[in-house]
Structure 1
Amino acid sequence: MSLSTQFLGHTYANPLMNASGVHCMSVEELQELDRSSAGAFITKSATPAEREGNPEPRYYPVALGSINSMGLPNRGFDYYLDYVLNRESKGDGRVFFSVAGMSLADNLAMLHRLQDSDYTGVTELNLSCPNVPGKPQVGYDFEQTQQILTEVFQFYKKPLGVKLPPYFDMVHFDTIAGILNRFPLAYVNCINSVGNALYIDTDLEQVVVKPKNGFGGIGGQYVKPTALANVRAFYVRLNPEIKVIGTGGITTGRDAFEHLLCGATMLQIGTQLCKDGTPVFDRVASELQQIMDSKGYKSIDEFRGKLQSIE
């Protein structure tokens, strides 16, 4: 039995990754991911210049997940580009590069630099940044999404995926999938956190994060059903060459199995990685292996995408 996964021309030991934004701010954290049992890993979403992000407290762990309003804190594009270029000699494709500009011009500028660089890995364009005050999520603006991808693919020739917000309406699934299918995307990543949730400390009678009067993105077990729905909706709607990365609520091997059953090829762990650290990858992989063994599966491809409906 093997957890090995084929993704964009590379073979990974397993489908597990960190979610961008978690345990990937610094080179030290990225090196810990590199030493972990994760099949691959991704950088913090980079903006052209370093950002401090939103004021603290901006992350709060809760029993079933977490709430955050981080505001894209990161060390800046050059910091992460230097890291991935220094690591290119390994040639294993394990590190992905995430970009999340504050404007179309920002995104185009960073992608131009990546296109012109020696970086040969996978890039993820974050179209879902719900926790920047005053900024809407690009992924909910269908015209802007189409405009960005149209301009990007006029020059960008390297593997590119997009991180998407959660969608909640069948018409929206149909509409955004119709747009995405027009472009040579490598993958879509479903989902980013569910935006504008509110968590309250009843003892203090106040919110638990400072930015946006306590409104923030919710993650963890709270969002798994929504994440699974998005993975499945895009898996059945997108062109077969566009893969799906499943993100949201993966805390156990059973959660990972469900994401794969819905059609995900790679899996990203966010909240539980923040809580448990990099040993989470060993545990989830072991639990996934146990489930596969109990069902007699020798490889992920034997069940991936084969979710059954009730006749």
Structure 2
Amino acid sequence: MTVSLATKFLDYTYENPFMNASGVHCMTTKDLDELATSEAGAFITKSATTSLREGNPEPRYFSVPLGSINSMGLPNKGIDYYLSYVLERQRKFPDEGPIFFSVAGMSVEENLKLLKIIQESDFKGITELNLSCPNVPGKPQVAYDFELTKEILEKVFSFFKKPLGIKLPPYFDFAHFDIMADILNQFPLSYVNSINSIGNGLYVDIDKESVVIKPKNGFGGIGGEYVKPTALANVRAFYTRLNKNIKIFGTGGITTGKDAFEHLLCGATMLQIGTELQKDGISVFDRVQKELIEIMEEKGYETIDEFRGKLASI
């Protein structure tokens, strides 16, 4: 039996469904080159703002036994830096899979400005609009404001004609799944990425009797194993509520092939790895793929489509 991890998304078939999560191993062109030549099926750029941002003061990321806490504050080199990179890569490697390009404005106006730049460019990949950055002091998460989310998407799709996905924070209530899905189903989205980190967690160093990151008095986004049950719930909730032409990208707590299998079983099409990539480096993609293939072999699955979304209820 030959197991294939081939994954079709839009008009392209990727060798496997694995990607980096935006924000991890994608700040510089060197990082992006390493992702492009890694075992990942695709990669996404750092969420870009209009201009370079230094981000929050350090320490702003801390690795903990079951994951991570961070309050990065959207450090990035600005949209021109990443756009020039992806345009050059498109030119050099025309047969390479479409690149994912992430943007995260600090306001509605900036989001629209960033997307207009991409719309007017020769970028042929897929754009991800980050509506869920939880770590910018003084700024609420857009995607927890349902009316504002709808307003942004109405404005975006009045001019944006290229493939677009959105990155969402976790939701914790069935009513919120229902409300957000009803909004998203009104728009021609290519995908929904669930989840970003769980916002405003707190980790304590008992020896120092202190928090472990500097911004926001130690409050930060939680990622890694801690968040997998929440991520799986969001993947499943949106998979069962959204139009089938809107795919689900599963992000959160993928450290092993078993975690990846669970995300796919819940309905995910592509899978993004963040905390484990930060901890292990790009070798994580090779390891997790091998573990996923072993599970599929044991279960007799030759392709992901044989089990994607087929989570049983009892």
- Please, what TM-score do these two structures have when normalized by structure 2? 0.98
Query: Aligned pair count?
Result: 310
1:128-277 → structure 2 map (5 Å cutoff): 128-277=132-281
Q: Cα offset for 1:41?
A: 0.3
Secondary structure in 1 aligned to 2:308?
A: coil
Q: Cα offset for 1:277?
A: 0.2
1:47 paired residue number: 49
Q: Distance in 2 between matches of 1:156 and 1:93?
A: 21
Q: Deviations over 1:272-292 (max 9, x none)?
A: 000000000000000000000
Q: Distance in 2 between matches of 1:291 and 1:113?
A: 43
1:25 paired residue number: 27
2:307 paired residue number: 303
Q: Distance in 1 between matches of 2:144 and 2:219?
A: 18
Contact persistence 2:98–2:124 (CA under 8 A): no
Q: Deviations over 1:182-206 (max 9, x none)?
A: 0000000000000000000000000
Q: Distance in 1 between matches of 2:307 and 2:272?
A: 19
Q: Cα offset for 1:8?
A: 1.3
For structure 1, list consecutive stretches of 5 or more residues without a partner in the other structure. none
Contact persistence 1:261–1:303 (CA under 8 A): yes
2:7 paired residue number: 5
Q: Cα offset for 1:95?
A: 1.8
Q: Distance in 2 between matches of 1:216 and 1:9?
A: 37
Contact persistence 1:93–1:122 (CA under 8 A): no
Q: Deviations over 1:99-133 (max 9, x none)?
A: 00001111111111111110010000000010000
Note if 1:291 corresponds to 2:280.
no
Q: Distance in 2 between matches of 1:155 and 1:88?
A: 23
Contact persistence 1:50–1:75 (CA under 8 A): yes
Secondary structure in 2 aligned to 1:41?
A: coil
- Identity of matched residues, %: 72
Secondary structure in 2 aligned to 1:42?
A: coil
Q: Distance in 1 between matches of 2:300 and 2:117?
A: 47
- Please, what TM-score do these two structures have when normalized by structure 1? 0.99
Q: Distance in 1 between matches of 2:117 and 2:278?
A: 31
Q: Deviations over 1:112-169 (max 9, x none)?
A: 1111110010000000010000000000000000000000000000000000000000
Q: Distance in 2 between matches of 1:212 and 1:62?
A: 18
Q: Deviations over 1:235-254 (max 9, x none)?
A: 00000000000000000000
